[in-house]
Structure formats: C-alpha cells, structure tokens
C-alpha cells in the first residue's frame, strides 16, 4: 500500500472528451491540486477518439474546471500538466505511441513508474483496453499500476465474471479499483464512524433494539437522454446492484477488527453472503417494481417513461424499485431492511432512517397518539448530516412527550465545501487505499442476488406499468410492502418525521 500523502502518478484518462471526465474528473483533480493533495510531480494524459492538439485539450480542461469551480489564476499552471493522445481503442500502434508518450512524461516529471488507467468510457471497451495495456506494454512499469473503472460492471453475473476474468489477465484484484461513487460520499463514509465511534449506537445496533431500516434514494430527473442505456438496465441494475446494496452492507456489517481495506471489505462480503436470496413467488412478495407515467400537475405536462427518447412504447423496464431485504444472521434476524429508489420522484434525496423499537410501556400520551419511535436519520444527499429523534417534555406540559430533533448538518457547520465523491476516490486510488471501492466478491454476490429478481421481472410483462405518476414517491404497492409488516415509509420528501 502506498500511503504517501502526496502520491506521484501518471494518470491516463480514457474517454477524456466525455461527460464524466469533464463534469467530475477534471474538477476533482483541480480540487486535489488546490488542497495540496497532488504531488508537484503529476501528469495527466487525456485519451479519446477525436483529434485534438495538447493546447486545445488543455483549454477544454480549463473550461470544464471553470464551469465547476469558477476562474482561478493558478489554472494556467495546472493545465500545463495535461497532455492529449488521440486514440483508437482497437489499434495496437495507437497504444505503442501512447506508451512512448507515457514513458517520456514519466521521465520528465519523475513519476517513479506509477500509473493509473482511468476508463471513463462505455464498459464494452473495458476488456479490449485492458488486453492492449498489457500486450502493448503499458503496464510494464517499475512503480504501481492501477485500473479504475466505472459502473456498470457487467449486466448480470455471467457477463460480470467474463469481464472480470478478462481484466484480471492484465491486473491483479488489488490493482482493480471499481468505482461506486456512493462510497465516496461524505455521509456514506460516515456510516462507519457513526456506528463504530459512538457508545450510544453500537450496543443498540441489532435486532433487539432496531425495528426496521429504510434506505431511500430518489431522483427528480427522469432518464433524460440515457433512454437507450436505461432500457437495458432499469433501476434494479442501475441503482440496487451497486449503490443501494453497498449502503446496506455498511449499515449491517460487523465491526471490522481493523480499519483496513481488507478487513472492512471482508465484513461487507459477509453481509452479502447473509442476504436472503429471493426466487419466484418470494420476489413478488418482497419486491415491487414501478415505472413512471405522465403527469400534468399545475398544468405542466411531464413525459412518462414510455414517452422518453429511445424508450419502447410498451417498455417493461422499471424506473422504480422497492424491496424488503432480510439479512439472515444473528444480529439482523427479524429486522427488515427496506430499500427504494427511482426516477421522476417527488424529491431528490438519499436518506437512511433507522427506526428503533418502541419502549416496553408507554407512560406518556402524546397528542392522544402513541409515542413516536426514536429515529436516527442519516442524510446523504443533497443535504448531509444526522438527525436523532427523541421524545422530551415541552416546558410546562407535564405528562406529555413531544418529539424533538437533534440535528447535525454538515452543510451548515462545515462551511468548507466537503470534497466531491470523485475527488476522494481519485485520491484514495493514488494512495492505494481500496476501502471505498467495490471488491470483486461484493460485485459477484450482489449480482447473484439481483439476477434472480431480474429473471422474474424480465420473464413477465408488467401489465400495471406505468404505475406511478411522475413527481410522486412511487407506486402504491411500495407503501403496501411496508404496511404488511406494520410499518410505513418515513416521509423523506417532507423531512417531517413527527
């Protein structure tokens, strides 16, 4: 593990003219530079299909950073470390020219032979690029070599295995950094700290004191221009297989014996292994799929999913998923973990609500209702923070218990911008810390869980689609899923949990 605080590396970004590079990677690299987290000996080669001169590429890097971060005088200096290589992913001679450029820059900037290959490209290219990186000698270096790839990692378990086998011809497992950008988010990383650094939570973090956990990740946007991709993916593959299950693993794992990437990932893997697999009828009982239909609220017509570009008129693709997960182990037996995620919902919000069990006997009345349960809410995005809901007495109001909220908001306490997920992840990768990347074992286990659900859904046309109106919190069946167990979704859209 390279734990230097200012690691040195040559970073090659494949797909450097694409959306991900422009919106996330260049601004993140600049923010690392601003925070003093990039060594002075850094160098980036942008690789993409189009013909560009170095200076035209540098200008496009400048532009994308200015759009995200505003104008800064030191940008002139920053972008001089960017180089461009016009590339055809299938052509060996192009890799050989790239190798020569990389070796020259390695010597010029004294990069110690450290290389990061970031594939910000469509996944169908991953295998071909990895093959060539090895066969054309770009991975023959004295320092470290690391491969960073974006989701989706396969379409199902067999395709993920095929891709993984191919990548592993060129890179060892510990050299493959599979990005799940949720794992780079401040409050997702905080799940571990909240759990393992507070005496008041860990003793209660089990089936004796927790009644259920709810993880919601809702988006207001629809599929926009990504209809073609989304038709083959759907919310289950796009969100549940990776981000949602990763959050569940962090919530449910046992305390690791040390905070190392190996120990943490091995605890997460145990959660995936304990996740009760669902088949046939059990899928229908525990999972709900939805697809947004048109809406005309306030006379503002909004397209349904089937009216979006590149989407079939009778599409069977789900844009919403809700599910009940059972973790079959000592700690969690009997505690449902409910997840829901979807597009074109009422609010953009990622939140975790941990609902504690009721106290054994209620000595108070509360507006003639039963006592509110204690809740721990972890706000992941767009607001970041923690709220704890307790019951307390209002002044002068004896015998009455009123819910009060203890609030910690990252946004208001910490005026410095918290680092972007990609910024953290790039830095972690440079330092060789793989904790916040998905290990192959996690990817494989989560695919095998999700595949059984998609098999049932794909084999049966959803007659009820579309089944939720754009701008709402999903289909009625998602509410009924919780009602069966005597629960309800805490309203993340209003933020009012009383």
Return the range that interacts with ligand NAD (CB under 6 A); candidates 44-52, 333-341, 366-374, 443-451.
44-52
Q: How far apart are the C-alpha atoms of 428 and 177, rounded to whole Å?
A: 10
CB of 293 to ligand NAD, least distance (A): 26
Our finding on whether 183 is near ligand NAD (CB under 6 A) is no
| Residues between 304 and 343 that touch ligand NAD (CB under 6 A) | none
Residue closer to ligand NAD (CB basis): 20 or 377: 20
From residue 79 to residue 98, the character string flagging contacts with ligand NAD as x (rule: CB under 6 A) and all else as - is: --------xxx---------
Return the range that interacts with ligand NAD (CB under 6 A); candidates 17-25, 339-347, 385-393, 462-470.
17-25
Q: Which of 32, 43, 48, 160 binds ligand NAD (CB under 6 A)?
A: 48
Residue closer to ligand NAD (CB basis): 237 or 324: 237
CB of 128 to ligand NAD, least distance (A): 9
CB of 45 to ligand NAD, least distance (A): 13
Going by their DSSP bridges, the two strands 402-409 and 468-469 should be labelled as unpaired
CB of 275 to ligand NAD, least distance (A): 24
Q: What is the CA radius of gyration of the chain?
A: 24
- Whether residue 226 is annotated as binding a ligand: the answer is no
Q: Which of 15, 184, 222, 336 binds ligand NAD (CB under 6 A)?
A: 15
- Whether residue 16 is annotated as binding a ligand: the answer is yes
Our finding on whether 122 is near ligand NAD (CB under 6 A) is yes
Our finding on whether 49 is near ligand NAD (CB under 6 A) is yes
Instruction: Tell me the CB-side half-sphere exposure of residue 477, using CA atoms within 13 A.
Output: 18
Q: Which of 10, 20, 157, 163 binds ligand NAD (CB under 6 A)?
A: 20
Which residue number has the CB closest to ligand NAD?
A: 18
**3-state secondary structure labels for all residues of the chain:** CCCCCCCCEEEEEECCCCHHHHHHHHHHHHHHHHCCCCCCCEEEEEEECCCCCHHHHHHHHHHHHHHHHCCCCCHHHHHCCEEEEECCCCCHHHHHHHHHHHHHHHHHHCCCCCEEEEECCCHHHHHHHHHHHHHCCCCCCCCCEEEEECCCCCCCHHHHHHHHHHHHHHCCHHHEEEECHHHHCHHHHHHHHHHHCCCCCHHHCCCCCEEEEEEEEECCCCCCCCHHHHHCCHHHHHHHHHHHHHHHHHHHCCCCCCCCHHHHHHHHHHHHHHECCCCCHHHHHHEEEECEECECHHHCCECCHHHCCCCCCCCCCCCEEEEEECECCCCCCCCCEEEEEECCECCCEEEEEEEECCCCCCCCEECCECCCCCEEEEEEECCCEEEEEEEECCCCCCCECEEEEEEEEHHHHCCCCCCCHHHHHHHHHHHCCCCCECCHHHHHHHHHHHHHHHHHHHCCCCCCCCCEECCECCCHHHHHHHHCCCCCCCCCCCCCCC
Residue closer to ligand NAD (CB basis): 15 or 385: 15
Selecting among 81, 87, 132, 243, the annotated active-site residue is 243
Our finding on whether 213 is near ligand NAD (CB under 6 A) is no
Number of residues that bind ligand NAD (CB under 6 A): 20
Return the range that interacts with ligand NAD (CB under 6 A); candidates 10-18, 281-289, 318-326, 336-344.
10-18
- Whether residue 485 is annotated as binding a ligand: the answer is no
- Whether residue 140 is annotated as binding a ligand: the answer is no
Our finding on whether 31 is near ligand NAD (CB under 6 A) is no
Q: Residues 6 or more apart from 42 whose CB is under 8 A from it?
A: 8, 9, 11, 33, 81, 109, 111
- Whether residue 22 is annotated as binding a ligand: the answer is yes
CB of 381 to ligand NAD, least distance (A): 14
Show the tokens assigned to 445.
């286990």
Instruction: Tell me the CB-side half-sphere exposure of residue 328, using CA atoms within 13 A.
Output: 6
Instruction: Decide if 439 is catalytic.
Output: no
CB of 321 to ligand NAD, least distance (A): 18
Our finding on whether 227 is near ligand NAD (CB under 6 A) is no
From residue 131 to residue 170, the character string flagging contacts with ligand NAD as x (rule: CB under 6 A) and all else as - is: -------------------xx-------------------
What residues form the annotated binding site for NADP(+)? 15-22, 49, 88-89, 151
Residues at the interface with ligand NAD (CB under 6 A): 15-21, 23, 48-50, 87-89, 120-123, 150-151
List, as residue ranges, the binding site: 15-22, 49, 88-89, 151, 181, 185, 219, 238, 343, 348
Active site residues: 243
Q: Which residues are annotated as a binding site for substrate?
A: 181, 185, 219, 238, 343, 348
């Amino acid at each position: 593990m390279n734990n230097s605080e200012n690691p040195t590396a040559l970073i090659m970004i494949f797909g450097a003219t694409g959306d991900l590079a422009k919106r996330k990677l260049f601004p993140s690299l600049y923010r690392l530079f601003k925070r003093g987290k990039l060594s002075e000996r850094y160098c980036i080669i942008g690789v993409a299909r189009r013909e560009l001169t170095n200076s035209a590429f540098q200008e496009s890097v400048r532009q994308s950073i200015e759009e995200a971060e505003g104008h800064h005088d030191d940008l002139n200096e920053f972008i001089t470390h960017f180089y461009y290589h016009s590339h055809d992913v299938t052509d060996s001679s192009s890799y050989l020219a790239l190798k020569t450029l990389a070796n020259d820059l390695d010597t010029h900037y004294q990069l110690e032979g450290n290389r990061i290959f970031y594939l910000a490209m469509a996944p169908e290219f991953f295998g071909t690029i990895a093959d060539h990186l090895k066969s054309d000698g770009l991975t023959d270096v004295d320092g470290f070599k690391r491969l960073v790839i974006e989701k989706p990692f396969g379409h199902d378990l067999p395709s993920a295995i095929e891709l993984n086998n191919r990548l592993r011809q060129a890179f060892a497992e510990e050299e493959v950094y599979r990005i799940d950008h949720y794992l780079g988010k401040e409050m997702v990383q905080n799940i571990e700290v909240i759990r393992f650094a507070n005496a008041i939570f860990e003793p209660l973090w089990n089936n004796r004191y927790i009644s259920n956990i709810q993880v919601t990740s809702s988006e207001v946007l629809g599929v926009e221009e990504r209809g073609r991709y989304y038709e083959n993916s759907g919310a289950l593959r796009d969100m549940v297989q990776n981000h949602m299950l990763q959050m569940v693993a962090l919530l449910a794992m046992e305390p690791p014996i040390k905070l190392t990437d190996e120990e943490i990932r091995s605890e997460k893997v145990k959660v995936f292994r304990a996740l009760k697999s669902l088949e046939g009828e059990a899928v229908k009982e525990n999972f709900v799929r939805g697809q947004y239909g048109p809406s005309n609220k306030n006379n503002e017509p909004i397209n349904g999913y089937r009216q979006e570009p590149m989407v079939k008129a009778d599409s069977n693709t789900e844009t919403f998923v809700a599910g009940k997960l059972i973790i079959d182990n000592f700690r969690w037996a009997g505690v449902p973990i409910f997840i829901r995620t979807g597009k074109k919902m009422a609010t953009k919000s990622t939140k975790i609500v941990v609902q504690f069990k009721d106290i054994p006997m209620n000595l108070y009345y509360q507006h003639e209702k039963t006592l509110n349960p204690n809740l721990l809410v972890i706000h992941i995005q767009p607001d970041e923070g923690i709220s704890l809901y307790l019951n307390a007495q209002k002044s002068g109001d004896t015998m009455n218990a009123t819910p009060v909220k203890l609030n910690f908001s990252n946004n208001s306490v910490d005026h410095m911008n918290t680092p972007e997920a990609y910024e953290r992840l790039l830095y972690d990768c440079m330092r060789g810390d793989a904790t916040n990347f998905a290990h192959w074992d996690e990817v494989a286990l989560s695919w095998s869980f999700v595949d059984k659900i998609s098999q049932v859904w794909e084999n049966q046309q959803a007659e009820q689609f579309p089944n939720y109106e754009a701008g709402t919190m999903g289909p009625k069946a998602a509410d009924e899923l919780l009602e069966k167990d005597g629960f309800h979704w805490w309203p993340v859209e209003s933020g009012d949990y009383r």
